[in-house]
Chains A and B, each alone.
Chain A
Amino acid sequence: MRLQLPSSRVLFRLWLLLLALMLAFGLASAVHVLLNGLGVTHLSDHLPWGLWITVDLSSIALGAGAFTLSAAVYVFGLKQYEAIARAAVLVGFLGYSSAMLALFMDIGRPDRFYHPIIYWNIHSVLWEITLCVVLYSTVLITELLPVVVESSRRLQRIKPLVRLAHGLHRIMPVVAVAGMGLSLLHQSSLGATYGILTARPVWYSPSAPVLFILSAMAGGIAMTLLATLFSSYVLNRQLVPANIIDGVARLVGYACLAYLYLKLWSWAATNYYSHVPEQRLGMEILSENTPYNYTFWFGEVLFGAVVPALIMLWKRLRDNRYAVMLAAFMVIAGLVINRWNVTLSGFVIPLDWTPGVRNPLPVNQYEPALVEWGVAIGIVAYSWLAFTLAVRYLKALYPHAEGAAPALADHTHDAPAAPPPALPPQPAPAGGD
């Protein structure tokens, strides 16, 4: 079944070379933007958010596996998911740091990136998101630190660090609950960023926050799943036991169904059953000027949710690793398309504030500039490189991996076993074994 490929060392070097090129492209673009300002992008006063906001929204959503799987392990007592939860935390951290990189590039005054921490506007969903993202990144680092310490013999010689890591391990349930709260807040607030804007008929919707969090749960778990399965494939080594993969894949399937359910009702209420002129006109403008209709129905709905849900929930298909990888990829692609569509759709349709019958404002068009692609590619390369290195060097990342180094694996088995009892075993029915 496996393809005959050049030796793995050659492949690994080629992969690093590719990432280095992408990073160089990204770095050059970033320097260009920082020196010359956002005028070098194709953004405008009528369409001020574009590709980078899509990157930002997508990477936060794709990092949502961290809070869902951590919650499964530490809050709902599904201990066995520890086998993949640490990788999810890493993916989460990479997602959030990518998002912060994208935002840093996207704001006009990156030198003032810390302002939301000093100047509070608690009315603003964007302020709440910023604070949550900062706090949640701290949570992710807290969750990740013990894994890093456990993975390195050298770090384990530093006793205070080991003690800190152990301490962190003990309070993990508390950290996981905090992480879940923060995630539930800002993942949905990202949808609210658009959903509360009354002046834009295609955005203004009470379902936006919930759609964002449901798709983030599906996409976030799918991202962790794909990263794990792909690494297993490349290393030719099972990183996570098959029954855990099976359970996680099913989780993605159910999340897709929940997302689809709300998505279809949301569509029906605002399109199918609605004759609100603004809404109708907006959709007409979108389908005339953009491939929105196709990207929505095929990219977001059919291939982004329906087909992957089928694959993930149909036992015979789910048993095939390649099918699961494909389905996870489709969920991820569907999510990115969704974040692009949401962002762009509201801007493409011009504002209508004039009191007459003619709408004199032009339709807004946007295609990212080369520097915008450059920065986006650089950010993607950063997260891929960090993940590659983590899989290679963080031995404790996958505690139940096939052939995990015994000395270190012992540590990891002891440690994670400790925290769950700390949580009073309220869900008495044996934790879903």
Chain B
Amino acid sequence: MTMSENESQPVAPAPPEATPAPPAPAAAPVTTINRRDMLTLLLGSGMSLVLAAMLAEPLEYLVRPLVGTAADGHGAETGRKYHWAMVIDLSKCVGCDYCVYACQATNDTADDHRWNIRVDDETATGTVFHITRPCLHCRNAPCVDVCPVKATYHRDDGLVVMDYAKCIGCRYCQTACPYGARVFNWADRTDTNPRSPEWGEPEVPRRPRGVVEKCTFCIHRIDAGLARGKMPGVDAEATPACVNICPVQARYFGNLLDATSTVARIIATTPTLRLREDLGTDPSVYYIPPEGLI
């Protein structure tokens, strides 16, 4: 109580103190600014400016790791070496679902739980085409923005990854993803892998009940491969399973920051599209359109 009174003192009765006749608080509405007020004002604003300038840098330094900056997902400017990207050639895709099955075997996902899916769509002229969709690893990923606990985040190499140990299972990322790329572990897994061993062996442990998961671009292969001097997109053991298995070689993978990589060359020379480019999510998956699709 006393505190708030003390605080209010200098604000309200200031004018009477400044004017020569204090007992006229009712006449206060006529505001006059005298020299002392003016000086206080100038000095005050000057000091605040100086203070703001002084504090700007340390404050920014403090806030940046919390807020994250544009450099989060973008990045040649930060001197990064890799940005993993995928090109999917829809004019080649025959809709065989091999990539879907290889992904299920490798990442150990059930049939109603696929990370990589195929749907059929058609062009304006009525030609049916097949489109497969992994996680697009957006540079401005809505899922990363909305996660309350930073359980999903951008890695320096462009991957959008999950920390299963942090995820609380609120499913806001599922709600926010424009591509439906995220799946939730609704129950404990008791099934046997439906695609193994025909399409490969599970290479990652199963995720616990109650967390969200999604395509990782086979992050375990990328990391282990690079550690052994293998190049993802070039050496099969460092490359995502879906890319290796494709019988018509409709999928390419590689480092976008290396101008000589296959993906960088395709993107530089061929017209490609990305899904819902209007949303500004800036995905790392590029599609070569089928004939007839603008």
Chain A contacts to B: CB under 8 angstroms = 36-39, 43-46, 48-49, 103, 106-109, 112-113, 115-116, 119-127, 130, 170-171, 173-174, 193, 197-199, 346-347, 351, 353-358, 360-361, 419, 421-424, 426
Give complex CA distance A130, B12 in Å.
Answer: 38
Give complex CA distance A357, B188 in Å.
Answer: 38
Majority secondary structure, B binding face = loop
| A109 B146 Cβ-Cβ under 8 A | no
Give complex CA distance A121, B180 in Å.
Answer: 22
| B180 A356 Cβ-Cβ under 8 A | no
Interface core residue of A38, A49, A108, A174 (most chain B CB under 10 Å) = A108
| B121 A355 Cβ-Cβ under 8 A | yes
Partner of B145 from A37, A123, A358 at Cβ < 8 Å: A123
Closest chain A CB from B239 CB (angstroms): 25
| B124 A353 Cβ-Cβ under 8 A | no
Closest chain B CB from A106 CB (angstroms): 7
Partner of B123 from A108, A353, A357 at Cβ < 8 Å: A357
| B12 A116 Cβ-Cβ under 8 A | no
Partner of B178 from A44, A48, A351, A355 at Cβ < 8 Å: A351
Give complex CA distance A199, B123 in Å.
Answer: 22
Interface string of B114-131 (1 = CB under 8 A from A): 000001111110000101
- What residues of chain A lie closer than 8 Å to B145, measured between beta carbons? 123-124
Task: Tell me if B48 is interfacial: C-beta within 8 Å of chain A.
Answer: no
Give complex CA distance A125, B147 in Å.
Answer: 9
Task: Tell me if B183 is interfacial: C-beta within 8 Å of chain A.
Answer: yes
Give complex CA distance A45, B250 in Å.
Answer: 28
From B73-81, B254-262, B272-280, give the one contacting chain A. B272-280
| A116 B149 Cβ-Cβ under 8 A | yes
| B186 A39 Cβ-Cβ under 8 A | yes
Partner of A355 from B5, B151, B180, B273 at Cβ < 8 Å: B273
| B12 A424 Cβ-Cβ under 8 A | yes
Closest to A48 in B: B171
Task: Tell me if B139 is interfacial: C-beta within 8 Å of chain A.
Answer: no
Could you give 5 example pairs across A and B, Cβ below 8 Å? A109-B167, A116-B149, A120-B149, A199-B276, A423-B4
| A48 B175 Cβ-Cβ under 8 A | yes
- What residues of chain A lie closer than 8 Å to B186, measured between beta carbons? 37-39, 43-44
| B182 A356 Cβ-Cβ under 8 A | no
Closest chain B CB from A103 CB (angstroms): 8
| A127 B148 Cβ-Cβ under 8 A | yes
- What residues of chain A lie closer than 8 Å to B273, measured between beta carbons? 355
Interface string of B1-40 (1 = CB under 8 A from A): 1001100100010000000000000000000000000000
Interface core residue of B67, B129, B176 (most chain A CB under 10 Å) = B176
| B119 A197 Cβ-Cβ under 8 A | no
| A197 B187 Cβ-Cβ under 8 A | no
- What residues of chain B lie closer than 8 Å to A119, measured between beta carbons? 149-151, 166
| A199 B168 Cβ-Cβ under 8 A | no
| B123 A37 Cβ-Cβ under 8 A | no
Q: A108-B171, A126-B146, A424-B5 are in contact. Are A355 and B293 (CB under 8 A)?
A: yes
Which 9 pairs show the lowest CB-CB distances between chains A and B? A108-B169, A108-B210, A199-B178, A356-B121, A39-B187, A127-B148, A39-B186, A422-B1, A48-B171
Closest to B169 in A: A108
Partner of A109 from B122, B129, B168, B188 at Cβ < 8 Å: B168
- What residues of chain A lie closer than 8 Å to B183, measured between beta carbons? 45
- What residues of chain B lie closer than 8 Å to A351, measured between beta carbons? 178-180
Task: Tell me if B289 is interfacial: C-beta within 8 Å of chain A.
Answer: yes
Closest to A197 in B: B176
Closest chain A CB from B135 CB (angstroms): 12
| A107 B123 Cβ-Cβ under 8 A | no
Task: Tell me if B170 is interfacial: C-beta within 8 Å of chain A.
Answer: yes
Partner of B172 from A45, A120, A126, A361 at Cβ < 8 Å: A126
Give complex CA distance A346, B178 in Å.
Answer: 12
Partner of B168 from A116, A122, A170, A353 at Cβ < 8 Å: A116
Closest chain B CB from A303 CB (angstroms): 29
Partner of A45 from B150, B182, B287, B293 at Cβ < 8 Å: B182
- Besides the known contacts A45-B182, A121-B149, A170-B1, 20 further A-B residue pairs in the complex with CB atoms under 8 A apart: A37-B186, A39-B187, A44-B186, A45-B174, A48-B171, A109-B210, A112-B166, A126-B147, A130-B148, A197-B142, A199-B176, A199-B177, A353-B276, A355-B275, A356-B123, A356-B293, A357-B121, A360-B120, A424-B5, A426-B12
